[in-house]
Amino acid sequence: MSKSTTGSAARSSASSGRVKTIDIVNKGLKSRYRKEKRFRVYGLLSIIASAVFLAFLLSSIVFNGYSAFLQTYIKLDVPVKTGMINEQNPRRSDFQGIIKAAIRDYFPDVTERKDTRELYSIFSSGAAFQLREKVLKNPPEGDTTISLWVPADDDVDMLMKGHMKRDVPESERRLSDKQLRWIEKLETDKRIEKRFNTTFFTAGDSREPELAGIWGAVKGSFYTMIVTLVLSFPIGIAAAVYLEEFAPKNIATDFIEVNINNLAAVPSIVFGLLGLAVFLNFFGMPRSTPLVGGIVLMLMTLPTIIIASRAALKAVPPSIREAALGVGSSKLQVITGHVLPLALPGMLTGTIIGMAQALGETAPLLMIGMVAFIVDIPGGFTDPAAVMPVQIYLWADSPERAFVERTSAAIMVLLAFLVSMNAVAVIMRKRFERRW
């Protein structure tokens, strides 16, 4: 475009006699500046598009998930009489029966068998566990009434949070008209309210949304990350030190370098295949444990750590090494005494970023059986465990609306971890970055 205008400008001024370069330039200048502006706008648009997408993604997750931090609880007065608790072994008393009796006491006009079943389903099955804990902690003496805030069923929870509408026909909602009436009675008695959802942060997985929590997955992630860190940090740093400080320039070194990049390019699911074929089927390691997960993730994080550590080592100026060598240190002393301490912040930054990647990884862990439904909270490296991203994946597959909100909440928690890890890495880099 600019070419053609300047060309015609040259021709037109040629007809008038003398040609001045400045005229040619001035003729085209306006359109060139316009182009420059357009160019800028395109660049900005692309960044704005990414920002809009990011904002949409995060806000929709927050919008979907914030309500999971609250949970509907119902206040239940549970009369406990002397015969109800098993004297010899209080663990084996019929807590479910006690809770049901308490519910029937509160709604005396519900007598039909079908109705009582509907009535019970307003309350979570976790109520009996709650009572059991309370009774075991301080056994009641004589006839008392224990007042409990028990979790409501997830359908009631959804209703209270407004995700389920009351005014649609009965067949289109998961709660019947009768159940709605009972809930209204509880509301007028001020016995139903939303409280902070501690279960979500302290429980393991569950089929019941109101009883499901992320603590098991958090602990599983924690153990897995420990394995990954313990293995990948020393190996990564040793490899980086060798490649930067010792490696001769030959084919073997080139081979190692190429393969580090190759390792970084391997699709994550293939690491899962490796874990399955080698660690599970060949070595017979226990399935779905943090140990195997950690080893697989170690292989994935190694390239990140090595590349970052090499950059950190490269940033240490040769003068430091030469000075240390000059006063008579051996090469090992130079490295352990001077180069490594100076490069350590950079190496740690790379390690944190690598760990953050590992923490968010899902696909390879599916392959080694970490996708199993695990209720118990893992207590060690060889206990079956879920990790946070896998937990999110499992919940995302569940159809209940209550799980959608818990999935979003779990993503928020995971993101909080990841973002703070990355922030720490950025701050460390800023803080310890030295210009020589």
Q: What is the DSSP pairing of strand 192-196 with strand 144-151?
A: unpaired
Q: Is 334 in the site for another protein (CB under 8 A)?
A: no
Segment contacting another protein (CB under 8 A): 77-85, 145-153, 299-307, 344-352?
299-307
Q: Which of 111, 250 has the CB closer to another protein?
A: 250
Distance CA 97, CA 112 (A): 17
Closest CA to 290 of 213, 226, 352: 226
> What distance in Å separates the CA atoms of residue 190 and residue 197, rounded to the nearest whole number?
19
**Among positions 19, 270, 323, 375, the unique one binding another protein when judged by CB under 8 A:** 270
* Cα(388)–Cα(404) distance, integer angstroms: 15
Binding mask 62-81 for another protein (x = CB under 8 A): --x-----------------
Closest CB to another protein among residues 35, 185: 35
Shortest Å distance, C-beta 35 to another protein = 6
In the complex, least distance from residue 131 CB atom to another protein, rounded to whole angstroms? 35
| Minimum distance from residue 272 beta carbon to another protein (Å) | 8
Q: Does 61 bind another protein (CB under 8 A)?
A: yes
Exposed / middle / buried, residue 50 (Cβ in 10 Å: 0-12, 13-18, 19+): exposed
Helix, strand, coil abundance in the chain, percent, nearest 5:
70, 5, 25
Phi, psi (rounded to 5 degrees) for 426: -65, -45
Closest to another protein by CB, 238 vs 375, is: 238
Name which of 28 and 126 has its Cβ closer to another protein: 28
Q: Is 274 in the site for another protein (CB under 8 A)?
A: yes
How many chain residues interact with another protein (CB under 8 A)? 95
Question: Which span sits near another protein by CB under 8 A: 136-144, 148-156, 176-184, 354-362?
Answer: 354-362
Extract the tokens encoding 343: 């490069």
- Binding-site member from 49, 230, 323, 416 for another protein (CB under 8 A): 49
User: Which residues, other chains included, contact 117 with Cβ-Cβ below 8 Å and sequence gap of 6+?
Assistant: none
SS3 172: helix
Interaction between residue 297 and another protein (CB under 8 A)? no
Q: Which residue has the tokens 């709650």?
A: 130
Residues 364-403 that bind another protein (CB under 8 A): 366-367, 371, 389-390, 392-393, 396
The answer to whether the CB of 288 falls within 8 A of the CB of 220 is no
Q: Hey, which residues between 242 and 261 contact another protein (CB under 8 A)?
A: 242-243, 246-247, 252, 255-256, 258-261
Question: Distance between CA atoms of 31 and 322, rounded to whole angstroms?
Answer: 57
Is the Cβ of residue 186 or residue 387 nearer to another protein in the bound state? 387
Q: Which of residues 206-245 bind another protein (CB under 8 A)?
A: 235, 238-239, 241-243
Q: Determine if 343 is a binding residue for another protein (CB under 8 A).
A: no
Strand 192-196 to strand 70-80: parallel, antiparallel, or no bridges (unpaired)?
A: antiparallel
Of the pair 168, 251, the CB lying nearest another protein is at: 251
Q: Computed from CA positions of residues 85, 88, 91, 97, in that sequence, does the dihedral angle turn out positive or negative?
A: negative
